[in-house]
Structure formats: structure tokens, C-alpha cells
Amino acid sequence: MSAEAGASGRTTSEELPLTYGELASIDVGRLRGVGDAKRRALSEYGIDDVLELVMTFPRRWVDRTNQLRVAEATPGEEVLLVVEVRSVEERQTRNRRKIVNLRVGDGTGTLRIVFFNQPWRARQLTPGTTIAVHGRIEDYRGSLQMTNPIVDLIGDRTGRIVPIYPQSEKARINTWELAGLIDQALRRCEQRGVADPLPASERDRLGLITRYEALRAIHSPSTMAEAQLARRRLAFDELLRVQVELVRRKRELERTSQGIRHTIDGHLVGRFIERLPFPLTAAQSNAIEEIQRDMASPHPMHRLLQGDVGAGKTLVAVASLLTAVQSGHQGALMAPTEVLAEQHASGISRLLADLQVSDGGNLFGERPVRVELLTNRIAGADRREVLSALEDGSVDVVIGTHALIQEGVDFASLGAVVVDEQHRFGVEQRAALRAKSGGLVPDVLVMTATPIPRTAAMTVYGDLDVSVLNELPPGRTPITTRWAAGPLDEVAVWSAVRDEVTAGRQAYVVCPLIEESENLEVAAAEDTFERLTTDELSGIRVGLLHGRMHSRDKEAMMGAFRAGEIDVLVATTVIEVGVDVPNATVMVVLDADRFGIAQLHQLRGRVGRGTQASTCWLVTSGTDPNARVDALVATTDGFELAEIDLELRGEGTLMSTAQKGRSDLKLASLRRDRELVEHARDVAFSIVDADPDLSTHEVLRDEVELMLTETESDYLTKS
Ligand code: ADP
Ligand code: MG
């Protein structure tokens, strides 16, 4: 048989389907019709090889099966027309707005198209151009008109479903030329086929079409349903590559690192929980159980604890740290800022006061659990004392900023690390911890209040396990959120603030976020402070807090606010996380439309921490509706907000990197493709666990290497 194959005169590799690697090695210049000029134009567009060509996906498809003729279009309807541009006219309105008017027609009739504020349309849509326009038909003084429709240059293509490729104004390659070249390239692949990294059994189980079918159908579908099947298959492939990479790294870390087997039936955690003035929520108990199961195992824990603001993450963190302490190790908690580290330290010291840990070297067999703060502000002899107590093991729990583990601090035996409000704690940082505990890797718990939809968590944080605190402790009063649109509404806000202060409660005022410059942001906060103290809030005790203040002054200001010596705290976003003052019942966010959903949600979580009803005012200087502000007014559910956020920010693609050329993750959407993310993760686990080196999954292995650029794979695993 092998003789016969040899006699056929073909080498084995010629008979095998084409891999992405092979497609990447074929220059587009080898396609018919691609001369030097076209080659350069393609290159400018980001396409140099055949893989990049066929992986340039349509931005959308124009479904001409729904197309109407102009004579059939009636006002009020939303329609798709394919028409020729007859004439173009540019005008300027009295208030200097640019208008482009087109007269278009298709032989059955004509209509007018008006573009506001799109002056470039005059250059793009010259007479004679054939365009598809999609929009609502209006009746303008008895004749048909469309305003700002979606326009696609479709050339003279006749297919029922026409792919539209991403275009830039200066691109010297148009959408139908691209379609033609892609078609040519895929036809040439037809004989050998395109290698499919997914076994047929998995394809069938998941209802996915083959790789080659998908590539054909995404570029020239015969129905819209087929286009969707193609997108689904290719999106799955993107997600699978990412998951394979993440799962491999996870497994490798597990293989190469030895964790600590912590004792989970010790007394410390039990006693701590018994002494709390309230029962744990069911979600807290579950999370602690999951964490302890990880901590008892020989593999290092790497778990994300997600819980909305106020869900009670701190107690879960403390239980984790105490699990390490009762096992004879130390725990470290790292906060994003010094203010928060200080606040955690004082809160946790209170929680652990009088708690005893067994100590063989002590006459009574026990000693109090020792908690210390270590930030840049702890200096001189105090610092030396804490450092040496960490080294000899007499400090059980240390609290500091994220820099804590990087500062050459030596531990007797670091057993657990909790990272607060940092979303990412990468492989490298975890590896660095090894040195702190005699070669064993401490268990790591990352906490965040930023609600990450589960699918995103699995993708972006694919090598993490996830625990979720999805209920708030009982007795919370919900926060009412209101939109104050413009200066008139704002007046009402300040009088509401005065009323609350008169009633003995406190308020936060958050100043405009100025991402470009911290200096400007500080200046804006100072201005607001001046204005409020001399005007709207005169006579009230107002304090100012911003990032440029010395941390001693910041802490003094927070202390005064906590103690009720200040009624209103004007601040920049430095108060975004962790600050806990139950008597504060009003939050005013100025220029709220400058903030993102997640950030507004975080800010809002600073109130509603006590038993009094709280209000969050989102102030905008204009009166235009804003989708993010609307979302905050509509719901306080962090997970729902996270979903809305993904939606508003586009399709929730993973990375903001260029979406052209070989960059992966162009099609997958975390919002739409939730179910695919889970499937991809399952498949990745089963493949990697059966074949860790992917030696029998060469096609997949090579693809992961080829497609996940260094930036992307770094992004997935580093902080
Ligand atoms: P998070 O860090 O998740 O925003 P915290 O841990 O700061 O939340 O907890 C918020 C508040 O809720 C704290 O005052 C805490 O004492 C309280 N708390 C935590 N767990 C419970 C519980 N099970 N029952 C009642 N109150 C709780
Ligand atoms: Mg917290």
C-alpha cells in the first residue's frame, strides 16, 4: 500500500489537508490578479499571506433576499435597497452642520438620501457607484427620503448574500476585490481541504461544521443561517486556542509547583466564625468551604473570589488567612492602596482581637494572633521590628499594598496570600511567591468586586477557579440611584445633601474623572471643593481627598470622615474601593457620564452600608441620555450591570488589539458566545489532560503557537 502511495508520485504532506501554518507561508502575491501594486495595497490593509487573507472576516453580510425595489418602498418601513448614485450635493446649514444630499435610483424609482455630519460621504459616493442602503424610508414633502442610512459599497456583485469587509477610507482595496481574492484562495484549497483541529466526534457533539465549510460559508454563505453557523465554528476555534493555552499553563504550574497542605480541621477558623456577631451568609460559607478544600490539597490554590461591594469578602479573606495560620504558616493580605491597607489592618485587627493561636514555645501553649501593617509609611525601627517578626514567624498576618511581596520581605513561612481588588495576579507573580515559603507555592486568593460575567472570568482568567458571593448579608437597605441632568437638577442634589447632613448623616462627592491627567483631576477636585464650601454647601464641614495628597494627610482625612468630624467628603476616585463608613448615605458623582459602568457601580457601593436608606446621584452637565447612567439607575445588580457593560462596549471582545491580520479573537464575543466559551474550556481540558504536550494534536498545537501572538498570550497570564 505504501508502495502504491509512493507510485502515485505525491508526497505525504501534499495529500494532507492544508494547515493554517501552510496557508501562512503562501504569499498573497501568488494569487492570480495580484501584481505589485495590488500586493502593496493588500499589505497596507494588513494582509501579506493567504492565511491573513482568508482570516479577514466580513464585518457583516448584506442579505439581498430581503431587498426591495425603490417602487416597492413605503414610508415608515425599514428596508434594504440596492441603488446607483445619480448625483451628489454638499451643503452647510445655518448652524454650520455639513449635509450631503444624494439622489439615488434603481430603474423603478428614485429617492433622496441625506447624511448629516458625514462630509466624507461626498467623496466616497460618487455618481455611478452602486450601493446597498439600509434604513427607514421617510416621506419628505411627498417624496421618498432616507436619513443617515447604513451604506455598503457592494459593487456589481450578484450573490444573494454579500459579505462586507472592513474598509477604511484610505484603503486602496475594496470589499469586492477582497471577496474575489478570498474566493480564489479558498477554491485553490478545495482539493486538499483545510486541516481541522477538532475531531469529528467533538464536532458532531457540539453541532459544529467543519473548518473548511466554515471558511467557505463565512465568506460566501448561501443563507444567513449558514453565515451564523460559520461564525459559530470559527469563534469556537478562537476560544479553543485561548483555552488550550490557559489550560496548559494551569496544568504546567500544577505539575511543577508544590503547594502546602493546610490543616482545615484546626480550631482557629471555627472559633473566629463562632465569635462573629452574625451568621455567615450561605454564599460566604460555600466560598470558605471551596477555599479550604483547595488549601488542603497539595496543589497551590489560585482562586478568584467575586462578590459585589458589601457582599462580605473580608470575612472570607480572613478565614483563608487563618487557615494558613492554624496550619503553622503566615498569611498576607495585599490592598491596592495604602489607605485601604490601613483600613483593612485596623478592621482585621479588631476582628481577630483576643483570638488565640496554639504555640508550642509558649508556657500556656497559646498566644494571641498577631496582625501587623507594613506599608511605606512604616519606617525606621518600626519597620525593622515588623520585618524581623515576619522572618521569625511571630507575625501571623501581615497587611500591606500590592508591593508587599516585591519588597524583599522575608517570611518564616508564607502560606496564603489574599490580593484585594486586583483583577490579575499572574503566573509570574505566583511563581515569585515560592521563594517566600521554602520552595512551596503559597495559596492565592484574588478578590474583586468588579462583577465579571462568569464566561469572561473563565476566559480572561482561564487559569483561575472562581467562587462567587452572590448574596448580600441581610438587613441592607437598597440604594436609590437618580440621574440629575443639568444645572437645574443639580440644585436639587445639593439641597438633598444638606438635608441628609442636617439629619446627622454624611455624604461623598466624587469629582470628574479626568483620565488624561491626574494633575487636572486634582485641580478639578480642588475647584469643586472651593465652590461647594463657599457656595452650595457653605456652613457644612467639607473635606477634600485626592491622590496627590501625602498618605498621612489622606489617612487623617479618612479618619476624620469615619469619626464624623467631616460631613461631606469631596474626593477623586481614590475612594473607589473599600472605604467603609456606614453613616454615609449620599453619594454624588459629578460628570457621571465620564465614568464607566463598573466604576460607577464601585463608587455607589460606598453608600448603603448602614441601616439608613441611601441615595446615589449621578450628575451630568448636559441633559442628553446616557446609556451607562441609565443602566445604573435601572439596577443595582452587579452581574446584570457587567452584562450591560459588555454589551455597550461592543461585542465584549477580549482584547482591544488590532482586529486585523493574524491577531486572534476577532469573532468570539463573550456576550453572545457564552455557551461556546464553556464548551471550548471543556474540550481544552479533555485534550490537554489526555495529551499534555499535544503530541497527538499537532494541528491544534501548531495553530495555538501560530495564532496566539505573544502580546495576547502575555495578556492572558500576566498581571
Ligand atoms: P466587601 O469587601 O465584599 O465589599 P465587606 O467584607 O467590607 O464587603 O463587608 C461589608 C460589611 O458587611 C461589613 O461591615 C461586614 O462586617 C458586614 N458583613 C459581612 N458579612 C456579614 C454577614 N454574614 N452578616 C452581616 N453582616 C456582614
Ligand atoms: Mg472589600
Among residues of the chain, what percentage have pLDDT more than 90?
A: 48
pLDDT at 660 over 60: no
Q: Describe the strand order of the beta sheet including 302-307 as a list of residue ranges.
A: 371-374, 397-401, 330-335, 414-420, 443-448, 302-307, 465-469
26, 56, 125, 126, 313 from 178: Cα distances, Å? 17, 9, 19, 21, 53
Of the candidates 195, 217, 237, which is a domain's last residue?
195
Indicate if 119 and 75 belong to the same structural domain.
yes
Residue nearest to atom 5 of ligand 1 (CA): 312
Of the candidates 117, 142, 164, which is a domain's last residue?
164
Residue 507: pLDDT band with limits 50, 70, 90: very high
Indicate if 486 and 594 belong to the same structural domain.
yes
Q: What is the pLDDT of residues 667-706, one digit of tens each?
A: 776 666 778 888 998 899 999 999 999 999 999 999 998 8
Residue nearest to atom 27 of ligand 1 (CA): 473
Indicate if 171 and 153 belong to the same structural domain.
no
In a domain, 651, yes or no: no
- Residue 312 CB–ligand 1 contact under 6 Å: yes
Indicate if 620 and 554 belong to the same structural domain.
yes
* pLDDT-wise least confident of 119-128, 503-512, 644-653: 644-653
Indicate if 519 and 617 belong to the same structural domain.
yes
297, 437, 465 from 261: Cα distances, Å? 5, 13, 18
* pLDDT-wise least confident of 166-170, 395-399, 660-664: 660-664
Residue nearest to atom 9 of ligand 1 (CA): 312
Contact 152, 218 (CB under 8 A): no
For a ligand 1 pocket test, name from 579, 580, 614, 636 the mutation site with the most ligand atoms within 8 angstroms of its C-beta.
580
**What whole-number distance in Å separates Cα of residue 545 and Cα of residue 508?**
10
Nearest-atom index, ligand 1, CA of 315 = 6
- Residue written as grid cell 441581610: 474
- Residue 309 CB–ligand 1 contact under 6 Å: yes
Residue 651: pLDDT band with limits 50, 70, 90: very low
Of the candidates 587, 606, 635, which is a domain's last residue?
635
**What whole-number distance in Å separates Cα of residue 681 and Cα of residue 543?**
50
The predicted pLDDT at position 710 comes to 53
In a domain, 556, yes or no: yes
The predicted pLDDT at position 588 comes to 97
pLDDT at 321 over 70: yes
Indicate if 16 and 150 belong to the same structural domain.
no
Mean predicted lDDT score pLDDT of the chain: 85
Q: What is the CATH number of the domain that holds 560?
A: 3.40.50.300
* Cα 473 to ligand 2 centroid, rounded to whole Å: 14
Total structural domains within the chain: 3
- Residue 638 CB–ligand 1 contact under 6 Å: no
In a domain, 155, yes or no: yes
In a domain, 273, yes or no: no
Residue 472: pLDDT band with limits 50, 70, 90: confident
pLDDT at 2 over 50: no
Nearest-atom index, ligand 1, CA of 307 = 3
- The amino acid that residue 466 corresponds to is V
* Cα 449 to ligand 1 centroid, rounded to whole Å: 13
Taken in order 244, 249, 253, 256, is the CA torsion positive or negative?
positive
Q: What is the pLDDT of residues 183-202, one digit of tens each?
A: 999 999 999 999 999 989 99
**What whole-number distance in Å separates Cα of residue 182 and Cα of residue 159?**
15
Which ligand has the nearest atom to the CA of 307? Answer: 1
In a domain, 699, yes or no: no
Residue nearest to atom 16 of ligand 1 (CA): 312
Top-confidence range, 11-20, 547-556, 679-688: 679-688
For a ligand 1 pocket test, name from 315, 450, 470 the mutation site with the most ligand atoms within 8 angstroms of its C-beta.
315
Q: Count CA atoms closer than 13 A to 617's CA, side-chain side.
A: 25
pLDDT at 579 over 70: no
In a domain, 116, yes or no: yes
Q: What is the mean pLDDT of residues 635-654?
A: 67
Here the cell at position 487 is 444645572
**What whole-number distance in Å separates Cα of residue 44 and Cα of residue 41?**
5
Indicate if 142 and 23 belong to the same structural domain.
no
For a ligand 1 pocket test, name from 314, 447, 468, 477 the mutation site with the most ligand atoms within 8 angstroms of its C-beta.
314
Which ligand has the nearest atom to the CA of 474? Answer: 1
Reduced to 3 states (helix: H, G, I; strand: E, B; else coil), residue 139 is: strand
Indicate if 147 and 27 belong to the same structural domain.
no
Indicate if 147 and 1 belong to the same structural domain.
no
In a domain, 375, yes or no: no
In a domain, 524, yes or no: yes
Indicate if 488 and 616 belong to the same structural domain.
yes
554 contacts: CB under 8 Å, gap ≥ 6: 338, 339, 545, 574
* Cα 314 to ligand 2 centroid, rounded to whole Å: 6
Indicate if 483 and 582 belong to the same structural domain.
yes
Nearest-atom index, ligand 1, CA of 281 = 23
Domain around 89: 66-164
**What whole-number distance in Å separates Cα of residue 174 and Cα of residue 196?**
30
Q: What is the CATH number of the domain that holds 86?
A: 2.40.50.140
Q: What is the mean pLDDT of residues 57-84?
A: 89
Q: What is the mean pLDDT of residues 471-489?
A: 87
Indicate if 564 and 624 belong to the same structural domain.
yes
The predicted pLDDT at position 322 comes to 97
Residue 452: pLDDT band with limits 50, 70, 90: low
pLDDT at 536 over 90: yes
Contact 288, 418 (CB under 8 A): no
